[in-house]
């Protein structure tokens, strides 16, 4: 069984964290939140963005990155606009940790400098600052899951009022 871990270092915007929580819930990824955060976990914007998925989450809180790293050895991938490798060129092993920084500052440069081979970048136009955090997490999660052939995820959907029959739809 594959396990994917999403790590948010000092997230500041509750709606982003709520959206990321929902992504984690629907994909089975574990969510790790490192304090301080720019909101409380009871924030109405956080809860609204995550909808009714909060009870489907495996979530752990930490007081620092040092505490997180001491409790979670493994393969770390630091997502940053400063990365020299493209995120889709990385190979994500089972139990990988995809690590993201604050919306306003990203990850600390001393952390990135200490792990140059683990820094990855989602390609974007050079003259623009960055993607939205929750969008970046979704891109990263689905790249890792694609590499793993989407384990434990439903691959086909169904219509409510119709049945798929080969290439034609027929009404139920």
Q: What is the pLDDT of residues 130-144, one digit of tens each?
A: 899 999 999 999 999
6: annotated binding-site residue? no
Cβ proximity of 98 and 5 under 8 Å: yes
Q: What is the pLDDT of residue 128?
A: 85
The whole-angstrom separation of Cα 96 and Cα 7 is: 10
Q: How confident is the model at residue 39 (pLDDT cuts 50, 70, 90)?
A: confident
Q: How confident is the model at residue 41 (pLDDT cuts 50, 70, 90)?
A: confident
Cβ proximity of 65 and 102 under 8 Å: no
pTM flag (> 0.95): no
Give residue 119's domain range.
4-171
101: annotated binding-site residue? yes
Nearest to 4 by CA among 34, 33, 23, 29: 29
Q: What is the pLDDT of residue 11?
A: 96
Give the chain's domain count: 1
Q: Which two tokens stand for residue 158?
A: 């169904």
Q: What is the CATH number of the domain that holds 62?
A: 3.40.1280.10
Q: What is the pLDDT of residue 126?
A: 86
Q: What is the pLDDT of residue 167?
A: 59
Q: What is the pLDDT of residue 139?
A: 98
88: annotated binding-site residue? no
Q: What is the pLDDT of residues 74-125, one digit of tens each?
A: 999 999 999 999 999 999 999 999 999 999 999 999 999 999 999 999 999 9
Q: What is the pLDDT of residue 153?
A: 92
Residue 50 confidence (pLDDT) above 60: no
Q: What is the pLDDT of residue 14?
A: 87
């Amino acid at each position: 069984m594959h396990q994917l871990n999403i790590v948010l270092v000092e997230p500041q915007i509750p709606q982003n964290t709520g959206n990321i929580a929902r992504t984690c819930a629907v994909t089975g990824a574990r969510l790790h939140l490192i304090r301080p955060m720019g909101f409380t976990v009871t924030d109405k914007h956080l809860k609204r963005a995550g909808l009714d998925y909060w009870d489907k989450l495996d979530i752990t809180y930490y007081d620092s990155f040092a505490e997180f790293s001491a409790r979670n050895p493994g393969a770390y991938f630091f997502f940053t606009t400063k990365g020299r490798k493209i995120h889709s060129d990385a190979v994500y092993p089972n139990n990988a940790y995809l690590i993201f920084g604050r919306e306003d500052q990203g990850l600390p440069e001393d952390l990135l400098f200490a792990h140059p081979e683990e820094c990855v970048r989602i390609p974007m136009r050079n003259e623009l600052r960055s993607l939205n955090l929750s969008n970046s997490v979704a891109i990263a999660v689905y790249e890792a899951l694609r590499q793993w052939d989407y384990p434990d995820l439903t691959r086909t959907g169904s219509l409510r009022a119709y049945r798929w029959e080969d290439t034609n739809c027929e009404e139920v």
